[in-house]
């Protein structure tokens, strides 16, 4: 079967390559070489800023206005007008054909391109961003972004509006799967690499939702308040790192309101002078444009003067009202020119004007292979009692596969990050694009892949809808693998980290029937595991993408060593969290079962009382033991660390594979700041490396890090400073397991 599948893939690949070749050679024969464009701004020797200014000189006021707002809801709302030139994605900005400036076609593409089905396109579903961040692999995240960029190019889009880097302050946030976890340095680095990957295809990239859009409950009415120093050292640091790495074309400001004492009064994120002008544009030196989240603009003059450059998706405030404000001098022409300049310079700097997308058939096989590669590194092995894993296909006689539609597919995340499944939802096929908040399964069948890896083993499936039937199959099988799921989406938060739909009861029933039970979790984020002591194996598979089933089988049978490590803490229960409930969730009138569709709520306050202590920092400062700490994950081999040396910008140590199989350890380096900083009750991640080691092999690694990762934000100086004192530097295999330590002294 495997051979047949590969050869079919090969044939299809060759066929599509041949079609492309024929098409391009026919084109080459019939069309004369295009005349060079001699317009002054097409001179590539000039900088993007010079080129943008040359265009602006030629533009009328109306042409300038095109670039500061979108053209409506396009493909997002049934019946909405799709303007000429728009591909029907989430946003469209009209260009100026007279000057050779194309329009901007924006596609939601957090984990793959959204709404592909409506254009009869294929789009690769990648593992969730949280999963990919758990690879701690910069190259994998660059690859992630380049898959998105490549497929955007192939379908004619020139801007991605993915790149979410909101910090996981609450594990119940419905969009955590779109983001890169709880640590600002890890998340910022991973999402920065992702956006670089997008832009490497000469597609405009984006980072969102700026900032503190860390919950879905009341996202358009909530007022998040957080102390300014904590703000700079947490969420804003993640944005700073991502933006610094990627130089993205766009930054999408968020829906929520913000209060940042001591000096920043309450305001919407999309018209917040501190956030947009002072921090983003001045301190981070962001050269691109700020676009509002869809419907996140609230005023004309105030928003324009506070740093918003483009209203999306429509023109309620930045259409005629802004034109009149410019004509009436309430918004200076120079500010309008700055807004337009930021858009145009991003178009030049990314290459969308010099090398616009050329549509061609998306290569689904290449996308699938890339998705599987990333999933191999993302899935985290959390428990392996008695070395039940990896499974040995030649010594196991029977395996029961139970639950979560594992016979047909793997779960994906919802909302604007929803990708359309090829052939439709595997559990509910219907024509057209996915329906908002439906639970979409992709046709990557764990049952089939496990059977392929174990052709001589009896592998049977039970849907898990009846605990007694599931237990019966489990009791008659040598190994039981239970799949459980937690569907998550934009527009909702989980009411609790407990699994929905009584799935804990299913695991209990199976574990009681079979002592060799392995649980595979497909979830948006952390879930509670009250049954953890009664099962032998646990994999956190996240939403594993279109290559998810293959990847799971690779890991279950040990063809790939598990190298994923949690990018987010797994608490034991909700009571351990800074907020026992998601703030504002009590205002939701008609919560769904287990989840809360948030809808519109009245204005309310959500003080981020945990401040800088997000995730593991909270647990450490409270001396609480989570279920699984940040950075945790098992391998099929073991590692030893030795010989740590450190300075204020670099560490060196040795990692040895002390087991008998090859594997990849994620060596993690943390720091504890001096007591004078007030931040000595928890660690901070400052560096890491993926170290691939053959059995018995040792490698000495030297890791450099930015001294701001050791610094505190000094409000008076408005910059990061290294406080004098002793810094404890620790290295090991998770935030909890740091076997090495040394001290670095920073003098006054
Ligand atoms: C989401 C954004 C998304 C936009 C367009 C908003 O509701 O918050 O992330 O890009 O819609 O679909």
Q: From ligand 1's centre to the CA of 294, what distance in Å?
A: 6
Based on the fold, state whether residues 376 and 422 are members of the same structural domain.
yes
**Residue 114 clears pLDDT 50, i.e. is over it:** yes
Q: From ligand 1's centre to the CA of 292, what distance in Å?
A: 9
- Residue 625 falls within a domain, yes or no? no
Q: From ligand 1's centre to the CA of 255, what distance in Å?
A: 10
Based on the fold, state whether residues 259 and 302 are members of the same structural domain.
yes
**Residue 22 clears pLDDT 90, i.e. is over it:** no
For residue 669, what is the domain's CATH number?
A: 2.60.40.10
Cα separation, 73 vs 63, in Å, equals 21
Based on the fold, state whether residues 326 and 431 are members of the same structural domain.
no
Based on the fold, state whether residues 265 and 211 are members of the same structural domain.
yes
**Residue 7 clears pLDDT 60, i.e. is over it:** no
Ligand 1 atom closest to 161 (CA): 10
Q: From ligand 1's centre to the CA of 18, what distance in Å?
A: 38
Torsion sign, CA atoms 217, 222, 225, 231: positive
**Closest C-alpha among 542, 541, 503 to residue 524:** 542
Q: Whose CA is nearest to atom 6 of ligand 1?
A: 294
Q: From ligand 1's centre to the CA of 654, what distance in Å?
A: 44
**Residue 586 clears pLDDT 90, i.e. is over it:** no
Ligand 1 atom closest to 417 (CA): 9
Give, for ligand 1, the residue of 161, 206, 207, 295 to mutate: max count of ligand atoms closer than 8 Å to Cβ: 161
- The pLDDT of residue 617: 98
Enumerate residues 6+ apart whose C-beta is below 8 A from 71: 81, 83, 86, 91, 92, 93, 94, 313, 314, 315
Length of the chain: 748
Q: Whose CA is nearest to atom 4 of ligand 1?
A: 294
CB–CB of 272/264 below 8 Å?
yes
- The pLDDT of residue 35: 84
- Residue 18 falls within a domain, yes or no? no
Cα separation, 524 vs 172, in Å, equals 9
Q: From ligand 1's centre to the CA of 352, what distance in Å?
A: 22
- Residue 26 falls within a domain, yes or no? no
Place of tokens 């004192």: 725
The C-alpha angle with vertex 421 and arms to 418 and 425, in degrees rounded to 5, equals: 100
**Residue 24 clears pLDDT 60, i.e. is over it:** no
Give, for ligand 1, the residue of 86, 270, 293 to mutate: max count of ligand atoms closer than 8 Å to Cβ: 293
Q: How confident is the model at residue 230 (pLDDT cuts 50, 70, 90)?
A: very high
- The pLDDT of residue 433: 82
Ligand 1 atom closest to 108 (CA): 10
- Residue 273 falls within a domain, yes or no? yes
Based on the fold, state whether residues 257 and 323 are members of the same structural domain.
yes
Based on the fold, state whether residues 407 and 467 are members of the same structural domain.
yes
Q: What tens digit of pLDDT does each residue of 598-607 get?
A: 667 999 999 9
Q: From ligand 1's centre to the CA of 695, what distance in Å?
A: 46
Residue ending a domain, among 542, 557, 576, is 576
- In three-state form (DSSP H/G/I as H, E/B as E, the rest C), the secondary structure along 663-693 is EEEEEEEEEECCHHHCCCCCCEEEEEEEEEE
Residue ending a domain, among 287, 318, 350, is 350
Ligand 1 atom closest to 164 (CA): 9
Q: How confident is the model at residue 594 (pLDDT cuts 50, 70, 90)?
A: low
- The pLDDT of residue 32: 76
Pick from 417-421, 582-586, 700-704, 725-729: least confident? 582-586
Q: How confident is the model at residue 36 (pLDDT cuts 50, 70, 90)?
A: confident
Based on the fold, state whether residues 344 and 394 are members of the same structural domain.
no
**Residue 27 clears pLDDT 50, i.e. is over it:** no
pTM for this entry: 0.95
Q: Whose CA is nearest to atom 9 of ligand 1?
A: 416
- Residue 290 falls within a domain, yes or no? yes
Residue ending a domain, among 533, 555, 576, is 576
CB–CB of 471/402 below 8 Å?
no
**Residue 548 clears pLDDT 60, i.e. is over it:** yes
- Residue 586 falls within a domain, yes or no? no
Based on the fold, state whether residues 326 and 186 are members of the same structural domain.
yes
Mark out the alpha helices in 476-630 (DSSP H runs): 503-513, 548-556, 616-621
Q: pLDDT averaged over the chain?
A: 94
Find the mean pLDDT for residues 284-291.
Answer: 98
CB–CB of 239/231 below 8 Å?
no
- The pLDDT of residue 246: 98
Q: From ligand 1's centre to the CA of 497, what distance in Å?
A: 24
Beta strand spans in 239-350 (E): 250-253, 257-260, 264-268, 289-292
Domain count, the chain: 3
**Residue 321 clears pLDDT 90, i.e. is over it:** yes
Based on the fold, state whether residues 137 and 179 are members of the same structural domain.
yes
Based on the fold, state whether residues 536 and 647 are members of the same structural domain.
no
Pick from 39-43, 194-198, 432-436: least confident? 432-436
For residue 477, what is the domain's CATH number?
A: 3.40.50.1700
Cα separation, 246 vs 189, in Å, equals 9
Cα separation, 198 vs 250, in Å, equals 12
Identify the three-state secondary structure at position 531.
coil
Q: Whose CA is nearest to atom 2 of ligand 1?
A: 293
Q: What tens digit of pLDDT does each residue of 425-459 get?
A: 999 988 778 888 899 999 999 999 999 999 999 99
- The pLDDT of residue 13: 39
Q: How many CB atoms lie within 10 A of CB 388?
A: 16
Give, for ligand 1, the residue of 108, 178, 254 to mutate: max count of ligand atoms closer than 8 Å to Cβ: 108
Give, for ligand 1, the residue of 294, 296, 311, 414 to mutate: max count of ligand atoms closer than 8 Å to Cβ: 294
Q: From ligand 1's centre to the CA of 296, what distance in Å?
A: 10
- Residue 227 falls within a domain, yes or no? yes
Residue 730 bridge partners (DSSP): 670, 741
In the chain, the percentage of residues whose pLDDT exceeds 70 is 95
For residue 306, what is the domain's CATH number?
A: 3.20.20.300
Q: From ligand 1's centre to the CA of 91, what distance in Å?
A: 10
Q: From ligand 1's centre to the CA of 290, what distance in Å?
A: 14
Ligand 1 atom closest to 313 (CA): 5
Ligand 1 atom closest to 254 (CA): 8
Q: From ligand 1's centre to the CA of 415, what distance in Å?
A: 8
Q: How confident is the model at residue 596 (pLDDT cuts 50, 70, 90)?
A: low
Q: What tens digit of pLDDT does each residue of 132-158 get?
A: 999 999 999 999 999 999 999 999 999
- Residue 19 falls within a domain, yes or no? no
Identify the three-state secondary structure at position 597.
strand
Q: From ligand 1's centre to the CA of 123, what distance in Å?
A: 18
Give, for ligand 1, the residue of 80, 206, 418, 490 to mutate: max count of ligand atoms closer than 8 Å to Cβ: 490
Ligand 1 atom closest to 178 (CA): 9
Q: Whose CA is nearest to atom 7 of ligand 1?
A: 294
Ligand 1 neighbours, Cβ below 6 Å, are 76, 90, 108, 161, 208, 293-294, 416
Give, for ligand 1, the residue of 71, 90, 255 to mutate: max count of ligand atoms closer than 8 Å to Cβ: 90
Structure tokens at 363: 């290569």
Q: From ligand 1's centre to the CA of 205, what distance in Å?
A: 15
Cα separation, 121 vs 132, in Å, equals 24
Based on the fold, state whether residues 379 and 432 are members of the same structural domain.
yes
Q: What tens digit of pLDDT does each residue of 477-515 get?
A: 999 999 999 999 999 999 999 999 999 999 999 999 999
Based on the fold, state whether residues 454 and 559 are members of the same structural domain.
yes
- The pLDDT of residue 532: 98
Ligand 1 atom closest to 208 (CA): 9
For residue 745, the surrounding DSSP H or E stretch is strand 740-746
Q: What is the dihedral of CA 139, 526, 441, 105, to 10 degrees?
A: -50
Domain that holds residue 461: 371-576
- The pLDDT of residue 12: 36
Cα separation, 50 vs 67, in Å, equals 18
DSSP for 112-135, please give it.
Answer: S-TTTGGGT---PPPPPHHHHHTT
Percent helix, strand, coil in the chain, to 5, is: 35, 20, 45
Q: From ligand 1's centre to the CA of 293, what distance in Å?
A: 6
Ligand 1 atom closest to 416 (CA): 12
């Amino acid at each position: 079967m495997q051979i047949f599948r590969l050869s079919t893939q090969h044939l299809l690949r060759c066929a599509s390559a041949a079609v492309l070749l024929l098409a391009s050679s026919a084109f080459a024969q019939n069309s004369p070489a295009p005349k060079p464009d001699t317009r002054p701004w097409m001179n590539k020797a000039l900088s993007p800023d010079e080129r943008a200014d040359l265009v602006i000189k030629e533009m009328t006021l109306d042409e300038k206005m095109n670039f500061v707002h979108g053209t409506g809801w396009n493909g997002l709302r049934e019946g909405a007008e799709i303007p000429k030139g728009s591909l029907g994605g989430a946003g469209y900005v009209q260009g100026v054909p007279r000057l050779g400036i194309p329009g901007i076609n924006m596609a939601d593409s957090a984990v793959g391109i959204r709404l592909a089905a409506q254009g009869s396109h294929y789009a690769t579903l990648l593992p969730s961003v949280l999963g990919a961040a758990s690879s701690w692999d910069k190259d994998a995240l660059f690859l992630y972004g380049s898959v998105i960029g490549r497929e955007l190019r192939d379908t004619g889009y020139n801007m991605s509006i993915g790149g979410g880097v909101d910090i996981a302050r609450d594990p119940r946030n419905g969009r955590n799967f779109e983001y890169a976890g709880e640590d600002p340095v890890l998340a910022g680095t991973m999402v920065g690499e992702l956006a670089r990957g997008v832009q490497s295809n000469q597609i405009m990239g984006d980072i969102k939702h700026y900032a503190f859009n860390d919950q879905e409950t009341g996202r358009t009415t909530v007022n998040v308040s957080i102390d300014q120093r904590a703000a700079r050292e947490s969420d804003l640091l993640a944005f700073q790192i991502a933006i610094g790495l990627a130089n993205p074309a766009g930054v999408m400001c968020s829906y929520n309101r913000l209060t940042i004492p001591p000096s920043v009064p309450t305001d919407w994120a999309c018209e917040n002078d501190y956030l947009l002008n002072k921090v983003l544009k001045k301190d981070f030196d962001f050269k691109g444009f700020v676009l509002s989240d869809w419907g996140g603009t609230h005023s004309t003059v105030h928003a324009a003067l506070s740093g918003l450059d483009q209203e999306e998706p429509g023109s309620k405030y930045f259409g005629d009202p802004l034109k009149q404000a410019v004509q009436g001098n309430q918004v200076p022409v120079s500010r309008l020119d700055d807004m337009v300049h930021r858009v145009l310079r991003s178009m030049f700097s990314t290459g969308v004007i010099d090398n616009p997308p050329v549509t061609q058939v998306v290569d689904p096989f290449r996308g699938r292979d890339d998705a599987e590669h990333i999933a191999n590194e993302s899935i985290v092995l959390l428990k392996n009692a008695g070395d039940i894993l990896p499974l040995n296909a030649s010594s196991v006689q029977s395996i029961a596969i139970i639950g979560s539609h594992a016979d047909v597919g793997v779960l994906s995340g919802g909302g604007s990050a929803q990708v359309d499944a090829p052939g439709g939802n595997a559990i509910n096929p219907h024509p057209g694009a996915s329906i908002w908040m439906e639970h979409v399964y992709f046709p990557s069948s764990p049952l089939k892949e496990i059977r392929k890896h174990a052709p001589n083993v009896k592998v049977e499936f039970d849907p898990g809808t009846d605990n007694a039937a599931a237990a019966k199959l489990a009791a008659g099988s040598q190994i039981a693998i239970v799949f459980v799921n937690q569907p998550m989406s934009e527009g909702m938060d989980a009411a609790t980290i407990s699994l929905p739909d009584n799935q804990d009861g299913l695991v209990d029933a199976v574990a009681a029937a079979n002592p060799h039970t392995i649980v595979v979790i497909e979830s948006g984020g952390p879930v509670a595991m009250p049954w953890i002591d009664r099962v032998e194996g646990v994999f956190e598979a996240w939403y594993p993408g279109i290559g998810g089933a293959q990847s799971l089988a690779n890991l279950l049978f040990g063809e790939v060593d598990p190298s994923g490590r949690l990018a987010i803490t797994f608490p034991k229960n909700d009571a351990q969290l800074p907020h026992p409930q998601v703030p504002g969730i009590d205002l939701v009138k008609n919560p769904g079962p287990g989840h809360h569709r948030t809808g519109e709520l009245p204005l309310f306050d959500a003080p981020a009382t945990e401040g800088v202590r997000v995730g593991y920092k909270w647990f450490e400062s409270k001396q609480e033991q989570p279920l699984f700490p940040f950075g945790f994950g098992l391998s099929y081999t073991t590692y030893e660390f030795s010989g740590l040396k450190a300075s204020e910008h670099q560490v060196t140590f040795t990692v040895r594979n002390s087991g008998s199989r090859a594997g990849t350890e994620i060596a993690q380096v943390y720091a504890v700041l001096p007591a004078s900083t007030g931040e000595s009750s928890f660690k901070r991640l400052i560096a890491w490396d993926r170290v691939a080691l053959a059995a018995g092999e040792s490698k000495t690694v030297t890791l450099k890090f930015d001294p701001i990762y050791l610094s505190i934000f000094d409000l008076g100086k408005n910059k990061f400073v290294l406080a004098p004192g002793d810094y404890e530097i620790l290295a090991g295999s998770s935030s909890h397991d740091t076997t090495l330590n040394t001290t670095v002294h920073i003098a006054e």
